Structure 1
């Protein structure tokens, strides 16, 4: 994982939700729809990152859903001040952090949260940013029946086998410059997903970089426009697949 996963800017609004637990995991929850839920799998900055909570608030209000952001890093939180201090990026031992939060470690928790939501809600979806991208593909895999649709923006650690195994409607938000979601993976998704018999929606964001959809720079109009477009696309996607009773 490269520097692209560290840089970004916090936004200034205050999240409106509350902290609780989901499947015995600390969790931010927002919204009050008793029938529709969305699981958010966070990026490297974790479940307390204000931006991810603000996005959850948007989805709760604009999709009309109850939105959950569990802690999938076991209580560990990367320091937010690193976001705007590139000179400190080398102080993080990212390989060790990622080993502590490897797929084999976190997938059982992600699945447990999805199982809990599936038992409580009529329709459920999941969205993953960066680190969370592989997780939503695992939830949407054949034979699992854990979510009704998935969405991801600039996914990291996504493998071709995970792409090939998905069996629910898939939405991808892909920036032009992304060392994690490479041109090869973009091409693979656009070649394979249309052959799987599931709905597929691909949004390409030229001139934007990895992390734009959750850590957009408020001083960069193009980046903020892209972030808003990605959020709006996810809202339309979830409203379609979680509310449309004709599907």
Structure 2
């Protein structure tokens, strides 16, 4: 495994302030948040696969809105069938019991057999209904696993991937990717620690896809979505990760980056 299972740091953090500009609708039997540019027709789409707080979390919706302002159609599916983990659950919350469906009304687990179909249906929606030929994806924590699992442009899935503080990614999943992947990592992260980060680097080098790994000091797991914006280092790392998103997708998804060196 190139990242470890999730823990309490996967649902702790700070709620950000803002008003979301997108809309909630449905794709089949699950809900999605979508937002697109107001001043242009987007050429490419970005799929955001969330951490366990889910698609209605204002923090991730604000990130989606910022991506839309930069020219992308953005969609965030509900990966959890209406059963996300509320932010800042008390100590002792059993995230593994949640993952196995303990809190879901029908006992539905949050394992690949239930999450993969949501990701696949969303990709199909983007390609067939909206007509996007190229799709980038961002995965935070829980969602990172599913960016990696579906980063297969050779199979018509995700073309370009970006993950931040990943969890639950298996070595076999990482070795199977065929598209560019960027990783944003925290200095303090018991789920994606130094040895797992180095292991991921070795695998990416061996399989030969374009990759980038950025490491931010002074921050911990979850910083890309749930950072305390009053903390200067956390804010810097979060904002830098967003700018890394833009440059990565401009280079490998849109092919529009202009070097000004």
Give the aligned partner of residue 251 of structure 2. Answer: 240
Residue 14 (structure 1) shift: 1.0
Residue 145 (structure 1) shift: 2.4
Residue 93, structure 1, aligned to residue 104, structure 2: no
Q: TM-score, normalised to structure 1's length? A: 0.91
1:118–1:147 Cα contact (<8 Å) kept: no
Q: How is 1:104-183 mapped onto 2 (pairs within 5 angstroms)?
A: 104-119=113-128, 120-141=131-152, 143-183=154-194
Whole-Å Cα distance in 2 between the matches of residues 142 and 55 of structure 1? 24
Give the aligned partner of residue 61 of structure 1. Answer: 69
Q: 2:82 aligns with which of 49, 69, 75?
A: 75
- Greater percentage in helix: 1
Whole-Å Cα distance in 2 between the matches of residues 23 and 236 of structure 1? 33
Whole-Å Cα distance in 1 between the matches of residues 153 and 244 of structure 2? 25
Residue 176 (structure 1) shift: 1.1
For residues 96-144 of structure 1, what are the alpha-carbon distances to aligned partners after superposition, in whole Å with 9 as ceiling and x for unaligned?
2111211222112112211221332022111100000110001114742
2:163–2:183 Cα contact (<8 Å) kept: yes
Residue 172 (structure 1) shift: 0.4
Whole-Å Cα distance in 2 between the matches of residues 42 and 22 of structure 1? 17
2:151–2:157 Cα contact (<8 Å) kept: yes
Gaps of 5+ in 1: none
2:149–2:177 Cα contact (<8 Å) kept: yes
Whole-Å Cα distance in 1 between the matches of residues 28 and 247 of structure 2? 28
RMSD: 1.7
Residue 231, structure 1, aligned to residue 236, structure 2: no
Give the aligned partner of residue 204 of structure 1. Answer: 215
Q: 2:228 aligns with which of 211, 214, 217?
A: 217
| Number of residue pairs the alignment of both structures matches | 239
Whole-Å Cα distance in 1 between the matches of residues 201 and 136 of structure 2? 21
Q: TM-score, normalised to structure 2's length? A: 0.86
Whole-Å Cα distance in 1 between the matches of residues 200 and 254 of structure 2? 26
For residues 53-97 of structure 1, what are the alpha-carbon distances to aligned partners after superposition, in whole Å with 9 as ceiling and x for unaligned?
0011111112x11000110100113233x26xxxx232x332221
Q: 2:47 aligns with which of 12, 18, 39?
A: 39
Residue 6, structure 1, aligned to residue 11, structure 2: yes
2:35–2:68 Cα contact (<8 Å) kept: yes
Cα distance change on mapping 1:105 and 1:12 into 2, 3 Å: same
Which SS does the other structure have where 2:62 is aligned?
helix
Gaps of 5+ in 2: 1-5, 101-108
Whole-Å Cα distance in 2 between the matches of residues 142 and 232 of structure 1? 23
